[in-house]
Structure 1
Amino acid sequence: MELRIFTEPQQGASYDQLLAVARRAEETGFGAFFRSDHYLKMGSGRGEPGPTDAWTTLAGLARDTTRIRLGTLMTAATFRLPGPLAITVAQVDQMSGGRVELGIGTGWYAEEHTAYGIPFPALGERFDRLEEQLTVITGLWETPAGATFDFQGKYYPVSDSPALPKPVQQPRPPILLGGAGPKRTPRLAARYADEFNLPFASVEDSVAQFARVRAACAEIGRDPSGMVWSNALVLCCGRNEAEIGRRAAAIGREPAELRENGLAGTPAEIVDKLGRYAEIGSRRAYLQVLDLADLDHLELVAAEVMPQL
């Protein structure tokens, strides 16, 4: 199983803090550095120094790192128009030498939209818009050089687009979709996703949702074995109970609750729980690191968990 680092900068982080985490993740052998795409803190407090933009951050990291893959869990489709987003991601892919992955979803956090003047349609419309965005983004990237792209969409019609720039990765950067929706989420994943990610879900719930996506693949004749299956889980690893307790307290959680709902405990406990996810087909784990100042946390997992996977 591949381990990736997943951060939540809207809770309070500067670019320099994110760069330090990304570089340490790269140095210690993690497969990727991902970040959320949110503009407002969740929970109490102000999230100072304030939000950072996901794709501005990844553009910087594309030049400030050399090997680690970079991406979003998940870019909100409500934040950006599909044409400009396709341009942005393709450019960051070029800047990184082909290391970018696009995780994208409907958007769900209403308060961040009202806080920054972003329209927030009803859920059904957000799914409709996401589907059109996926059609446009993949269509622009996959249009052959020299040809043009057209799409008669309800929300995002495109006419005579040169479909430039092209990403380094061909035919396109990997696309991640995810979530627990029982109907439209599996159908969109079957059609567009290279990877399906389920965040903060138990093994049992993962089994059920992975099965829905596999069934949706079967309906359109896609072989689901070609899709990567992954989970995202909050991380709290320690060599002993004192260290586990300290790390849990730093993020305002309890060790027992994290053991139940996250990826918490000693390295041996972490390996055991990851093994249970691997048994159901999960091949990547996104470790949600909430205390970005605790770089020793990454060192511990890299030294005592990663070699056992």
Structure 2
Amino acid sequence: MDLRIFTEPQQGADYDTLLTVAKASEDLGFDAFFRSDHYLKMGSVTGLPGPTDAWITLAGLARDTRRIKLGTLVSPATFRLPGPLAISVAQVDAMAGPGRVELGLGTGWFGDEHTAYGIPFPEKRFGLFEEQLEIITGLWNTPEGQTFDFKGEHYTLTDSPALPKPVTKPHPPIVIGGGGPKRTPRLAAQYADEYNTSFKSFEDSEQLFGTVREAVAANGRTPESMTYSAALVACVGRDEAEIARRAAAIGREPAELRENGLAGTPAEVVEKLGRYAGIGTQRVYMQILDLQDLDHVELIANEVMRQL
């Protein structure tokens, strides 16, 4: 099982903080460093110094790190037009080098961050999302020297040179999440390299994985062509006092985190990861909310990841 570090910078983190965590994650052997893509804090935190743009951050990390994979979980389709997003991701892909950048894409859900920064937030967004997937992959897959055209309900592209091309071939992996019973599995089977469930129970994750597997088979793909992943908040401690301290630092209770996240001693967390593996989870994004606590990341690397 791959373990990845997943951060929420809108809760309060500047670029230097993210770089410190990304470098630590790289040095400790984690597979990837991912970040959320939000422009407004959530909950009672101050959110200072304010939001950072996900793809500008990843461009910087592409140059300031060496090996670790980088991506979003997930970029809302409402934030960026699909053509410019395809250009941005392809450019970050070139800055990082082949095989290091991944695009997580979703419909967007947080209405307040849209109104706070003047971003349109239509009630129905799935059509936007579907067209963006078709356009981005269409631009990337268009042979060099040919043009790409698209006419949909939301976007029209005419005589696009479909440049630049990603250096990762055929293109950077695409991660799709969501709990829809029909449309999401269909889009995942058509466009995604990875399907992700975020903060779901064993039962819900197992059911969602099953519907996506069925869609993958119906789409004529091989089972191994899709990776199945989960994102869960992490709160790991060597003893109860350390677990309680880390839970308090993120405004949560140990008992609740044990039920809904990856919390407890390293042995407890390894056991729970084994249960997730049992339902087909191949990759886990460990959500780290206290970005000042690098000892937490080191503990997970040394006492959890090495047992996997």
Aligned-pair CA distance for 1:209? 0.5
**Mean CA deviation greater in 114-123 or 84-93:** 114-123
Give the structure 1 partner of residue 19 of structure 2: 19
1:185 equivalent in structure 2? 184
Describe the shift of the 1:45–1:303 C-alpha distance in structure 2 as closer, same or farther (beyond 3 A): closer
1:52 — aligned with what? 52
1:306 aligns with 2:308: no
| 2: CA distance, partners of 1:196 / 1:209 | 9
Q: Within 5 Å, give how 1:210-249 maps onto structure 2.
A: 210-249=209-248
1-side partners of 2:230 and 2:71: how far apart?
15
1:109-128 matches, cutoff 5 A:
109-123=110-124, 126-128=125-127
Partners in 2 of 1:159 and 1:218 — Cα distance?
34
- C-alpha separation in 2, matches of 1:46 and 1:253: 17
Identity %: 72
Say which SS state the counterpart of residue 78 (structure 1) adopts. Answer: coil
- 1:262 alignment partner in structure 2: 261
The match for 2:138 is: 139
Q: Which amino acid aligns with 2:306?
A: P
Question: Could you state the TM-score of these two structures normalised by the residue count of structure 1?
Answer: 0.98
1:175 CA displacement: 0.1
Please name the residue that 1:159 is paired with. Answer: 158
- Whole-angstrom distance in 2 between the partners of 1:15 and 1:250: 21
**Residue equivalent to 1:150:** 149
Distance across 1 between alignment mates of 2:34 and 2:127: 26
Which residue identity lines up with residue 92 of structure 1 in the other structure? V
Match of 1:295 in 2: 294
- Structure 2 segments unaligned to the other structure (5+ residues): none
Matched, 1:92 2:106: no
In structure 2, distance between residues paired with 1:122 and 1:74 = 19
Kindly state the Cα deviation for residue 260 of structure 1 after the two structures are TM-superposed.
0.1
TM-fit CA distance, 1:195: 0.2
Q: Quote how far apart the aligned CAs of 1:183 are.
A: 1.9
Q: CA RMSD in A?
A: 0.9
In the TM superposition, what are the counterparts of 1:7-86 in structure 2 within 5 Å?
7-86=7-86
Q: Give unpaired runs (5+ residues) of structure 1.
A: none
Letter in 1 for 2:95: M
